[in-house]
């Protein structure tokens, strides 16, 4: 039996000696590679925080002391140390272990965060509440993996500095990367500290001192503090953290577990807000991750060969690839196109544009608000920015889209990757909100391509708009074969037409293929059906509204929340035009979806062909029954 098998909770770590802790760290890394190789998941970040997480759980008493992980994908080791190692066989699978902290799983998880740059605000609130309630509890916020590039962390730091009596320890996990290499002035500042040889000398000196004593008394702390303060003044006058009024400890080698413990103990004893600056290496201990230049195997999409780190599944063309190729082609044709992303250069496919046009590519870090307004500024100066981020992360920049881009009629194009049901990463990553909140933005145009050919076509149309924001939403995963229309009528494509004008199905984006299957099922029931792809779903085209008048029942199907989405906008447009037709709006229910494969989730929420056809058939039957009753009443009169 290994040491990991003997860990049922954090208190089991207390009696381990240094050698046992090193052995346990090795077992944890082996366990991570083995389990994640079968399920996929966030590998690189967790390999980098093994010793750090061990130290946190040895110094602090979770769950009495609260631990908040900023980018929650780095909490795998925390889960293992809090009694959940046996559940990793179903990591990120339906009904299994979440890839992020989860209140339902453990009392050790308080914040289910998986969007970055939020932990310090949570922690500030927790610490202040404990002071008010007179509870002697520490709060540890683990921030890093790029989260310090987000503006919200600095808003929080500004307030934390004023809370002198809150027992808040901020652990800056400085691995030099977020999803990929962290960018910006702050990142460069931390990199200068991390790479300066004088700091390495100090770290070595401090480490040797700490190893010669079991208890760090005031004299040794004074030496450590004086060395650090003098060196920091020489390297970076007016050090950023202490200028905010926050006590600073570090930098500490994040893979030297005793050294991290010593630093955390100092911070714990201080009694006020303290920052502990820890240097780690993403992917440490697993050669394929260490050598992976792109992102140190930040997130592995599925099962992989543990020997090589290579995915086992054959590589299919994904939606992101199509966008990447077309944007590079557009960049070669037009020198006014620039690319902007928020720490998502590789996941969104912008790396291709960056390789071809580095001077026209801007990664602003985990700062979606800045990305949108910066793009608006570029548009005001005559460029056409293409901003590529995940659909779920655009939630954070709604005000910037509304007031900074749309109000000023800025020609920017937002390409939202991972739109719709994404599945494995759970409720925070499903892109199910964008087509609802974007409906309220005046002048904005929104498209949901049904296939790769439409993505290329609509991207080109989008970047030709210079007086309003345009948005393209792109699903996750393999792109389906191109679906050719029967004909294009005005602003929409007719995808299928048969029989009488019973049902009009307005299919949005990737739901077109599903709706074609629905149409076949309806035809088999003798129901006439027309399926159209509206192409640009905002604004609703008058052509489409006119088409609804020719059908008895109007059905909309979208991979977005039902409330306020495309179906709701279509119904409103019909009402405004005086068109009175029964409507059915199908979409994602307004609840947070549990993790699971996309196909399974779509089946659960009724967005697959069979349940859709069944409900539409029942509605048609009800209409037929109402018509029959009306005719009988008329005849008897």
Same domain, 113 and 257: yes
Asked whether the beta carbons of 588 and 421 are under 8 A apart, the reply is yes
Question: What are the backbone dihedrals phi and psi of residue 385, each rounded to the nearest 5 degrees, phi first?
Answer: -80, 140
Same domain, 391 and 279: no
Does one domain contain both 184 and 120?
yes
Predicted pLDDT of residue 424: 74
At residue 464 the predicted structure's pLDDT band, cuts being 50, 70 and 90, is very high
Whether residue 59 contacts residue 264, with contact meaning beta carbons closer than 8 Å, is answered with yes
Please tell me which residue in 368, 418, 538, 562 is annotated as part of the active site.
368
Write phi, then psi, for 264 (nearest 5 degrees).
-65, -35
DSSP secondary structure of 418-441: EEB---TT-TTT-B-SHHHHGGGS
Distance CA 73, CA 76 (A): 7
C-alpha distances in Å from residue 569, one per residue of 440, 562, 619:
10, 11, 21
Residue 636 in domain = no
Same domain, 137 and 274: yes
Would you state the pLDDT for residue 295? Answer: 61
368 is known as an active-site residue? yes
Inside any domain, residue 578: yes
Q: Of the residues 429, 446, 475, which one is the last residue of a structural domain?
A: 475
Instruction: Please give the residue that has the higher pLDDT: either 309 or 201.
Output: 309
> What does the pLDDT look like over 249-291, one tens digit per residue?
888 898 999 999 999 999 999 888 889 999 988 778 777 777 7
User: What mean pLDDT is predicted for residues 199-214?
Assistant: 50
- Looking at per-residue confidence, does 529 or 594 come out higher? 529
Is-catalytic flag, 521? no
Total domains present in the chain: 3
pLDDT at 533 over 90: yes
Could you count the other beta carbons within 10 Å of the beta carbon of residue 493? 21
The number of angstroms, rounded, from the C-alpha of 2 to the middle of its chain's C-alpha atoms is 35
d(CA 116, CA 393): 10
Q: Is 396 part of the annotated catalytic residue set?
A: yes
Position of tokens 């054959």?
314
Q: Is residue 384 a part of any domain in this protein?
A: yes
How many CB atoms lie under 10 A from the CB of residue 629? 10
Which CATH number is 609's domain given? 3.40.50.920
d(CA 273, CA 277) in angstroms, rounded, equals: 13
pLDDT at 507: 97
Task: Let me know whether 545 and 470 are in one domain.
Answer: no
> What's the mean per-residue pLDDT of the chain?
84
Query: What pLDDT band is residue 294 in, cutting at 50, 70 and 90?
Result: low
Clarify whether residues 382 and 469 are in a common domain: yes
Q: Which of 35, 232, 396, 450 is catalytic?
A: 396
Q: Which of 92, 177, 232, 282 is catalytic?
A: 282
Residue with tokens 């539409």: 616
pLDDT of residue 220: 46
Q: Which CATH number goes with the domain that contains 361?
A: 3.40.50.970
Could you give the CA distance from residue 559 to residue 509 in angstroms, rounded to a whole number?
8
pLDDT-derived band at 627, boundaries 50, 70, 90: low
What is the pLDDT confidence band of residue 48, given thresholds at 50, 70 and 90?
A: confident
Q: Cβ atoms within 10 A of the Cβ of 620, count?
A: 22
> 39 falls in which pLDDT band (50, 70, 90)?
confident
The parent domain of residue 503 ranges over 492-629
Where residue 233 falls among pLDDT bands split at 50, 70, 90? very low
Taking every pair of Cα atoms in the chain, the longest distance, rounded to a whole number of angstroms, is: 104
Tokens linked to 585 = 């709006």
Nearest-angstrom CA–CA distance, 297 and 309: 8
Q: Work out the number of other CB atoms within 10 angstroms of the CB of residue 503.
A: 25
pLDDT value, residue 590: 86
Instruction: Give the per-residue pLDDT at 91.
Output: 85
């Amino acid at each position: 039996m290994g040491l990991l098998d003997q860990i049922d909770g954090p208190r089991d770590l207390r009696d381990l000696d240094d050698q046992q802790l090193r052995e346990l760290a090795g077992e944890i890394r082996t366990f991570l590679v083995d389990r994640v190789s079968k399920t996929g998941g966030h590998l690189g970040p967790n390999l980098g925080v093994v010793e750090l997480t061990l130290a946190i759980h040895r110094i602090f008493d979770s769950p009495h002391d609260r631990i908040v992980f900023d980018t929650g994908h780095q909490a795998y080791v925390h889960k293992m140390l809090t009694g959940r190692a046996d559940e990793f066989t179903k990591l990120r699978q339906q009904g299994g272990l979440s890839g992020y902290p989860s209140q339902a799983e453990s009392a050790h998880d308080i914040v289910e965060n998986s969007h970055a740059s939020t932990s310090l605000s949570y922690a500030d609130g927790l610490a202040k509440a404990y002071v008010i309630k007179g509870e002697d509890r520490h709060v540890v916020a683990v921030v890093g993996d790029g989260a310090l590039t987000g503006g919200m962390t600095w808003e929080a730091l500004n307030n934390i500095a004023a809370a002198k009596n809150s027992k808040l320890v901020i652990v800056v996990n400085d691995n030099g990367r977020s999803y990929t290499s962290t960018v910006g002035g702050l990142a460069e500042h931390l990199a200068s500290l991390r790479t300066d040889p004088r700091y390495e000398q100090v770290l070595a000196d401090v480490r040797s001192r700490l190893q010669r004593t079991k208890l760090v008394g005031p004299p040794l702390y004074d030496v450590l503090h004086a060395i650090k303060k003098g060196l920091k003044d020489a390297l970076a006058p007016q050090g950023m953290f202490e200028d905010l009024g926050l006590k600073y400890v570090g930098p500490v080698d994040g893979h030297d577990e005793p050294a991290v413990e010593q630093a955390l103990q100092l911070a714990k004893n201080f009694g006020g807000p303290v920052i502990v600056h820890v240097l780690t290496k993403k992917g440490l201990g697993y050669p394929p991750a260490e050598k992976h230049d792109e992102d140190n195997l930040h997130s592995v999409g599925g099962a992989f060969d543990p020997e090589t780190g290579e995915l086992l599944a054959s590589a299919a063309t994904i939606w992101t690839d199509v966008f990447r190729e077309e944007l590079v082609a557009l960049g070669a044709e037009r020198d006014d196109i620039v690319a902007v992303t928020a720490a998502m250069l590789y996941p969104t496919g912008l790396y291709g544009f960056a390789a071809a046009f580095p001077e026209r590519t801007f990664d602003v870090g985990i700062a979606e608000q800045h990305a949108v307004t910066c793009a608006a500024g570029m548009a005001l100066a005559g460029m056409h920015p293409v901003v590529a981020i995940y659909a779920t992360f655009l939630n954070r920049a709604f005000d910037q889209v509304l007031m900074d881009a749309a109000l000023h009629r800025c020609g920017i194009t937002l390409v939202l990757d991972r739109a719709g049901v994404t599945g494995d990463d759970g409720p925070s990553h499903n892109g199910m909100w964008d087509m609802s909140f974007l409906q309220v933005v005046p002048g904005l145009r929104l498209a949901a391509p049904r296939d790769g050919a439409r993505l290329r076509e609509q991207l080109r149309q989008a970047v030709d708009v210079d007086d309003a924001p345009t948005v393209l939403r792109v699903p996750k995963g393999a792109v389906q074969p191109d679906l050719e229309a029967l004909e294009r009528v005005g602003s929409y494509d007719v995808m299928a037409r048969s029989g009488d004008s019973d049902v009009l199905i307005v299919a949005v984006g990737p739901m077109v293929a599903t709706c074609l299957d629905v149409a076949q099922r309806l035809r088999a029931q003798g129901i006439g059906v027309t399926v159209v792809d509206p192409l640009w779903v905002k604004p609703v085209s008058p052509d489409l509204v006119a088409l609804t008048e020719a059908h008895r029942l109007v059905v909309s199907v979208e991979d977005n929340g039902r409330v306020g989405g495309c179906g709701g906008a279509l119904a409103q447009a019909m009402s405004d035009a005086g068109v009175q037709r029964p409507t059915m709006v199908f979409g994602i229910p307004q609840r947070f979806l549990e993790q699971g494969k996309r196909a399974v989730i779509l089946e659960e929420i009724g967005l697959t062909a069979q349940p859709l056809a069944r409900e539409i058939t029942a509605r048609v039957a009800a209409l037929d029954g109402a018509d029959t009753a009306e005719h009988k009443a008329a005849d008897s009169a």
